[in-house]
Amino acid sequence: MTNALPLPDFAHERVEVVTGRRSGLFIAVALHSSVLGSALGGARLWTYPRWSDALGDALRLSAAMTLKNAAAGLDAGGGKSVIGLPEGSVLDADRRRAAFLDLGDAVESLGGLYRTAEDVGSTTEDMLVVSERTAHVVGLPDAVGGSGEPAGPTSLGVYSSLVATLERAVGSGDVAGRRITVAGLGQVGGRLAARLAAEGAVLTVTDVNPAKRALAAELGAAWVEPGEVHLVPADVFVPAGIGGVLTDDVIEALDARAVCGPANNPLADRSGADRLAARGVLYSPDFVVNAGGVIYLDLEAKRLGSREEIMGRVAGIGDTLRRVFDEADARGVTPLAAAEGLAAERLRVGAAANALV
């Protein structure tokens, strides 16, 4: 059995852990911070070897959402929810519905301090089920007047970030002719790969699902096995699947000039940012790069602008990343440290404002 990941330091405002009364599944709702407002973060449905691994994922992801929402300039705190599936289990339609009804009850128990949305393993249709038990959910299907699937806005933000990354790493943001490796062809990675192929990038792709080879062929991209993808020479390596892929061994073997992708927490350890810098590999912090979806969901839910205006805000993620790079250079720190500093300053101002109320 796989060794359990250590639980992160506990710095959360509140965590609810329940066994769903309908589904019997482990459910964790982690509220990391509400300093900037009601927390927003998706609901992940995933398989874990132990319940503690599911809890650790919720704790890590919710803390990352605090950084993401703060750095994105949103008036939203950080939270995350996880439905943990035992290894080897398969949900039928009835038990899946039961799981998301249970999640709705857990979200409701926080009284509006946390809003959920779709995430890895969940869908907008699942969020419609959640909405039967709580109003604190965003990203409902278009058919019922919701904002719909956020993968498109997330992909747009990643593309904007990739252009900014190329500018800094190779001197030009032009995608044509650049060697780009996309590891993960899900909702976001697949959309990004299609756009990059259309713009003339030299693509290498992979996914844990071998059926994604068909998409690779359609895009004219080279396919490699997941365990070998980091060895392919690239201008930009795009982690677009699960987190923790950038281990010390992978970083040491990575053949890329930059890393820029939508995967949450791609660094197996924070020290990986220093290891990348020491090797001369530019690292674009994930919580800046992948904020397009949460920007879209939060602003749509609050009716803060037209759809066009909101997508313009998403496209501006590239400018945020450029400021992060400039700050990193000015301070002599990694882009990760600079991005964390940007988020920390917003949180400091927010906490000071709350103290005056």
For residues 61-78, average pLDDT: 95
Residue 294: how many other CB atoms lie within 10 Å: 28
For residues 267-279, average pLDDT: 96
Nearest C-alpha neighbor of 165 from the set 175, 156, 155: 175
Residue 193: pLDDT over 50: yes
For residues 281-298, average pLDDT: 97
Residue 350: pLDDT over 90: no
Q: Which of 68, 80, 212, 302 is catalytic?
A: 80
pTM: predicted TM-score of the whole model, two decimal places? 0.91
The C-alpha angle 197, 194, 231, rounded to 5 degrees, equals 65
CB 23 within 8 A of CB 38: no
* Mean per-residue pLDDT of the chain: 95
DSSP letter for each residue of 107-176? HHTTTTSEEB-B-TT--HHHHHHHTTT-S-B----GGGTS----HHHHHHHHHHHHHHHHHHHHS----T
Residue 42: pLDDT over 70: yes
Instruction: Give yes or no: 212 in active site.
Output: no
Burial class (CB in 10 A: 0-12, 13-18, 19+), 263: buried
CATH 3.40.50.720: which residues of the chain?
153-291+319-343
Amino acid identity for residue 10 in this structure = F
More confident site: 120 or 163: 163
Q: Residue 155 — φ and ψ, nearest 5°?
A: -60, -40
CATH 3.40.50.10860: which residues of the chain?
14-66+77-144
For residues 191-195, average pLDDT: 98
Instruction: Please provide the CATH number assigned to the domain covering 153-291+319-343.
Output: 3.40.50.720
pLDDT in tens, 160-192: 999 999 999 999 999 999 999 999 999 999 999
- Min mean pLDDT across 4-8, 100-104, 142-146, 207-211 is at 4-8
The predicted pLDDT at position 5 comes to: 59
Pick the CATH number of 14-66+77-144 from 3.40.50.10860, 1.20.1200.10, 3.10.20.30, 3.90.25.10: 3.40.50.10860
Residue 2: pLDDT over 60: no
Scanning the structure block, which residue is given the tokens 């037209």? 306
Residue 153: pLDDT over 70: yes
The share of the chain scoring above pLDDT 70, in percent, equals: 97
